[in-house]
Amino acid sequence: MTRWMQRMKSGLRRMGEWISGHDVPVADEPLEAELVHSRRTRRPAVDVYESQDELLLVADVPGSRPDTTRVGVSGGQLSILARTEAVPDHRQLFGNDADADWHVAFDMPKDVDGGRSEASHRDGVLTVRLPKLPRPAPHRIPVRSGA
């Protein structure tokens, strides 16, 4: 497991312990202020995969829609926020709380190109693709004599 993966798992675990059952305060950042107010939040299940070219995050955010889901990069952190809504004209008998939103954030690794990242949402599953920056080609540095 890479160091980044260990840091992310640790950060997600700490965040999950803090978020569980608590209100997340409104941050100064517009992304969080847009969705997180006084509603309860919970941490979504997030699977992270790594290939040579990208990191792939798959988050379960049932009850949310693409237009109520926000993914943003700010200050070296990736934030996922998704508002859930009750089904109109129906009373919920079983399932996730319709009045609690999904929220998770973690530090981005330095080798990810946040500007080329993409996200898609389908049937309550959010997929975020984070392309890696190209690695510099190895090269030899000439050594000169003298000072």
136 in any annotated domain: no
137 in any annotated domain: no
7-34 residue pLDDT tens: 666 555 544 443 333 333 333 344 555 5
**Domain total in the chain:** 1
Q: Higher model confidence: residue 25 or residue 127? A: 127
78 in any annotated domain: yes
Q: Higher model confidence: residue 73 or residue 31? A: 73
Pairwise CA distance, residues 119 & 105, whole Å? 15
Give the lowest-confidence range in 21-30, 84-93, 124-133. 21-30
146 in any annotated domain: no
Q: Mean of the per-residue pLDDT values for the chain?
A: 77
123 in any annotated domain: yes
pTM above 0.85, yes or no: no
104 in any annotated domain: yes
- CATH code for the domain of 96: 2.60.40.790
Domain that holds residue 58: 3-131
73 in any annotated domain: yes
Q: 82: burial class by Cβ within 10 Å (0-12, 13-18, 19+)?
A: buried
